Structure 1
């Protein structure tokens, strides 16, 4: 039962309580009506808290009807939900001669499933009663002690096992193994579980045994263990115990079972369906008899334990008990009960022998009810609506449906949290946004993107390898984490179309950097190890905000996170992500971003590719010096659901071309899918496509209408490179137009890399070896003569990662200088310090990148004189033909800027 308790409410009674009524031919007289109204009020369980219940001792009148019969009819009538009750007529039951027998019968009657509600279940009392009926004797064969017999019986009581063990025939090792297994399952395991339960040391097991050792009767602590205490309760052994203490233990265990049955727990609505207290009607009670003994024990147990219980006892006797200070007339039953409720706290504290007694007697003028009187039926109140049996199932269904809807809006089967690795994802606008460093979450399950998924799995496998190498190095090698943040979902693709070539290539560049570091000697304590987290910002980086918010928490929890690589497209959403990453304090190394003034969004931004101003300059110089044309037409696109203001790449490129060509730019127009370009047929100037690669295929289809009179000089920006790197798109390209397009990594083609390796260029030679390894990229690059092209973004991402790695290695070398036994502490460096070290290393001679030397001005994150080139293909659908470099600007290696010149 719970504290606090509430006393019986004062009169007048509630509107739904039976009202006292004057005696009638078919009802009880006034005194009987008061008694029945009091019983109704006491047995009705309050909706909140619980009330203390007295012991009502009714004194029979010398003459008149039988109140016991009236009360039996009162509690036993009615259909449906009855009050749980037990009626014990002690005068008619000579077998109920002691308290154990009386409690045994009381438990039997209350356990019946006959009251329109779930039966009351008992766990503690049956065990105590069972122990009292056990006799411990040594077996006739002399084997085993009394304690061993008790243990065996207790274990068998928990769960009976078959009399005969099943036999496994055969002399083979398999038969023997099965016999051992059966023995373990049927003997050893139950024995171990039983020992754990009776020990009372495991909270979730053996609570009933633990209760016996914590209650106060028979001094259980003297027995040390439950088995010792149980032995003291068995026949013969308990002869040395005080009988009153044994009876109190039995009664206390009985009341404890009622307390637990009447507990109210929020998570179990069924507990709230018990709306009426159980009542025990003891008839034929005599002073000094077993009924009187039970009443006295109940009074003592309640006083001594200080705990309440839900049992209402009504005793009918010919005379009042000697311990009572006085009796009250039936007419004052309510008043007497209210006065008792006010005084019980004090009287129980003083342990008065009549603390719980309320003794009532009929007045001389208050006749007892006649035998023919018909009392009103006592029916248990209906349970609250939310405790009905249907509710748990309904709640579970609603919760499951709600969780299903919430999970479906937040996760899907291919976008979900994982217990392994560092994974956090959300489903936003049907795109899986978040980050992962483990194969449990691989981004993009669309058909045709197998190579994108394969390189992610390769990175995740190398993450585990890097962790293992770092552990074996005793944490001596520097260890850093870089996050690749890109656009890994959102494009509409055919089942056979690889639509994320650029992202796949950048991930391949990071995988190559990881691979190169893993190939370092195990004794090279100065060589760093790279851990890569792959993050998706959604189509056109529209969900970069939520992705960065997740990365902020990752960086806070993982001090090895030192920077972000990627971002893919220069858009307003990308600029916003840069500002957020700057606020978080994470440097960003962008392999391919080239919009002008992107560095204004972050003081920790470093761009690997040349800005659009350099690209516009190269196109203008090429048109003027090589093509010898004086006029240009420029068409731009911004992609689906975008604009020139939001698309920073296209916007700054168009501005650069407008400034460089000036008045020679005779047409500047936005092109959209479906618009015809017949006006450009036979155009002799330079026709510049300054848009996104996703619209370049439609642009070519529009020019196909020119037939044999196409524009003479078609030049595409560096976004076209993404189209040209996709063989699936090129092979179905319309027309046979020659195209010249901008390349940011012309120095990383297979032919140039082989020539550099032959000339002793260590940086490009090593890179060629890594990308050609059989156990890294699929397929390997630049092998068997021509081989599969390496992809220019592979080298750009590789350069970005290795710049960060070399900066960390430099900082680690300084920290190690004063302590040869130094171990890498991720807290020893921070992202801002690594960014500063990158600038320091690359301020003068620059970083010798595979795609060209990388130098930064002191006040800008844009590279200075970064290598750019123009590549030309004679026919776009001719995938097998290598593009030819026709023009370039910027420095390939250290030294002054050589300017722009044809090849």
Structure 2
């Protein structure tokens, strides 16, 4: 098990849950006379080395993504014993180190594991879009292991692997979302962009921040200026700024960014908007409690459709969201039940994205198994290769978008990036108010396959009890 730092009980808890479920999966598989398809996915994340402040719960992304995979694992493990065609999933947890600096070395170990264990069919995770991640993708491609990233979005990551898919749109789409909101809704033409890279790593090495800043400045034009923000910098000159004030950095510095604006209590900037990395900050209630209360924040979300109010509103008509909602409400799965009442913890957008990634790979294995008619004989994992699973995902996706919790996912045949996947701008009236769900104010992409394309102001927030 990775990470024994104080305050990481939730991360250790979900790892314990997965390891217990791995044991139960094998029991269920043996009781099926080994007929059910058995598959293994590797979660590759950053499990050590993150900088943790005195009020910060670190490894939030990794915990949420492991929770999403655990929910998918649970769903299939609890399927009817008579359903021989439903696959059983084991999960291996692997550590890429701080900022994925040791990911290439970890991939070498995973290559050896895949040679010894033919049930290994792919990798989920990778967490951060950095040059180290790109090198790991290249090595995964060389050893023939597909990679599905729940949240990676740097433009051009697909160039590193022919066996790569991502569940969220590229940064070019995020830049389009923000620029459309600024120009069409706020009627702004001027923008001040500030960026950070986490621990002051070079901008060129942080592919997420680099491509996001480039995309935004290209779309917003000459009236947009971009500059680095460093802890301790003063932002007093931004008080009352009437244009778009955009934080385009890593969440780890957003607390200090807000602190630098605290002096604007009587004259705050009018339009503070932040990238999707900031949702990791907003998930940390300890950090938010001490933030300035007079600074409304609008931020990008890659999984607004998986927020509790939206899940409850869509559960009747949308089977994927209803099933997911039922699972996260179980009292024998996640450490805390989600979406049970108005005071419960939020889902966490990476939970839903990792769940979608995992269930998509499970569906591919199940379809391959159905063609092999495995229900009539014991499962032979060598009959289904990792490349075959990746090819099956693409075949199914070419026929129809994957109907995920986070919206329909239709991959570009050229890039493996989703097309018209939902991206949202969420509004938080006061950062310290942790008991209120953010409100969607603007979005690009579809919630259902039949929805119109493009970017639109959000309709009124669904109402109703989340319990």
Task: Show the counterpart of 1:848.
Answer: 403
Distance 2:203 2:398 in 1: 34
Q: Give the alignment of 1:738-749 within 5 angstroms.
A: 738-749=296-307
Matched-pair contact (CA < 8 Å) for 2:84–2:375:
no
Task: Show the counterpart of 2:100.
Answer: 541
Task: Show the counterpart of 1:631.
Answer: 190
Distance 1:515 1:848 in 2: 19
Task: Show the counterpart of 2:457.
Answer: 902
Matched, 1:448 2:7: yes
- Cα 1:700–1:820 change in 2 (3 A) is closer
Report the TM-score when normalising by structure 2: 0.96
Q: Give the alignment of 1:199-598 within 5 angstroms.
A: 442-494=1-53, 497-598=56-157
Farther off after superposition, 586-595 or 641-650? 641-650
Distance 2:215 2:420 in 1: 16
- Cα 1:513–1:734 change in 2 (3 A) is same
For residue 687 of structure 1, the aligned residue among 237, 242, 245 is 245
| Greater relative contact order (CA < 8 Å, ≥ 6 in sequence) | 2
Q: Give the alignment of 1:749-768 within 5 angstroms.
A: 749-757=307-315, 759-768=316-325
Q: Give the alignment of 1:6-45 within 5 angstroms.
A: none
- Cα 1:496–1:625 change in 2 (3 A) is closer
Unaligned runs of 5+ in 1: 1-441
Q: Give the alignment of 1:135-174 within 5 angstroms.
A: none
How far off is 1:753 after superposition? 0.7
Task: Show the counterpart of 2:336.
Answer: 779
Task: Show the counterpart of 2:291.
Answer: 733
How far off is 1:706 after superposition? 2.0
How far off is 1:561 after superposition? 0.5
- Cα 1:517–1:454 change in 2 (3 A) is same
How far off is 1:892 after superposition? 1.0
Distance 1:485 1:551 in 2: 10
Matched-pair contact (CA < 8 Å) for 2:129–2:206:
yes
Matched, 1:794 2:351: yes
Task: Show the counterpart of 2:461.
Answer: none
Matched, 1:884 2:439: yes
For residue 327 of structure 2, the aligned residue among 770, 783, 786 is 770
Matched, 1:696 2:254: yes
Matched-pair contact (CA < 8 Å) for 2:343–2:435:
no
How far off is 1:674 after superposition? 1.1
Matched-pair contact (CA < 8 Å) for 2:364–2:392:
yes
Task: Show the counterpart of 1:809.
Answer: 366
Task: Show the counterpart of 2:266.
Answer: 708
Matched-pair contact (CA < 8 Å) for 1:854–1:866:
yes
Q: Give the alignment of 1:92-111 within 5 angstroms.
A: none
| Root-mean-square deviation (Å) | 1.2
Task: Show the counterpart of 2:205.
Answer: 646
* 1:159-209 CA-partner distances (Å, limit 9, x unpaired): xxxxxxxxxxxxxxxxxxxxxxxxxxxxxxxxxxxxxxxxxxxxxxxxxxx
How far off is 1:626 after superposition? 1.1
Q: Secondary structure at the match of 1:521?
A: coil
How far off is 1:861 after superposition? 1.1
Q: How many aligned residue pairs are there?
A: 458
How far off is 1:493 after superposition? 2.4
Matched, 1:657 2:212: no
Task: Show the counterpart of 2:166.
Answer: 607
Distance 2:306 2:343 in 1: 13
How far off is 1:664 after superposition? 2.6
How far off is 1:709 after superposition? 1.0
Matched-pair contact (CA < 8 Å) for 1:688–1:715:
yes
For residue 176 of structure 2, the aligned residue among 605, 617, 621 is 617
Matched-pair contact (CA < 8 Å) for 2:85–2:375:
no
Distance 2:313 2:367 in 1: 30
How far off is 1:630 after superposition? 1.4
Task: Show the counterpart of 1:198.
Answer: none
How far off is 1:823 after superposition? 2.2
* 1:771-800 CA-partner distances (Å, limit 9, x unpaired): 110000111101134522111110000000
Q: Secondary structure at the match of 2:336?
A: coil
Q: Secondary structure at the match of 2:99?
A: helix
Q: Secondary structure at the match of 1:645?
A: helix
Task: Show the counterpart of 1:824.
Answer: 379
Distance 2:347 2:98 in 1: 25
Matched-pair contact (CA < 8 Å) for 1:448–1:495:
no
Matched, 1:858 2:419: no
Distance 1:844 1:660 in 2: 33
How far off is 1:641 after superposition? 4.3
Farther off after superposition, 718-727 or 733-742? 733-742
How far off is 1:501 after superposition? 1.2
How far off is 1:735 after superposition? 4.4
Unaligned runs of 5+ in 2: 459-467
How far off is 1:550 after superposition? 1.1
Q: Secondary structure at the match of 1:715?
A: strand
* 1:226-266 CA-partner distances (Å, limit 9, x unpaired): xxxxxxxxxxxxxxxxxxxxxxxxxxxxxxxxxxxxxxxxx
Matched-pair contact (CA < 8 Å) for 2:35–2:375:
no
Q: Secondary structure at the match of 1:635?
A: strand
How far off is 1:896 after superposition? 5.9
Farther off after superposition, 651-660 or 490-499? 490-499
Distance 2:205 2:23 in 1: 39
Distance 2:365 2:211 in 1: 33
Distance 2:446 2:223 in 1: 28
Task: Show the counterpart of 1:214.
Answer: none
How far off is 1:844 after superposition? 3.8
Runs of 4 or more, structure 1, over 6 Å off, are none
Distance 1:779 1:820 in 2: 36
Matched-pair contact (CA < 8 Å) for 2:198–2:252:
yes
Matched-pair contact (CA < 8 Å) for 1:756–1:765:
yes
Distance 1:536 1:461 in 2: 19
Q: Secondary structure at the match of 2:84?
A: coil
How far off is 1:495 after superposition? 6.4
Q: Secondary structure at the match of 2:142?
A: helix
Distance 2:338 2:379 in 1: 34
How far off is 1:822 after superposition? 2.6
How far off is 1:518 after superposition? 1.1
- Cα 1:496–1:715 change in 2 (3 A) is closer
Q: Secondary structure at the match of 2:179?
A: helix
Distance 1:735 1:543 in 2: 39
Distance 1:594 1:522 in 2: 39
Distance 1:531 1:626 in 2: 46
For residue 429 of structure 2, the aligned residue among 852, 874, 878 is 874
Q: Secondary structure at the match of 1:484?
A: strand
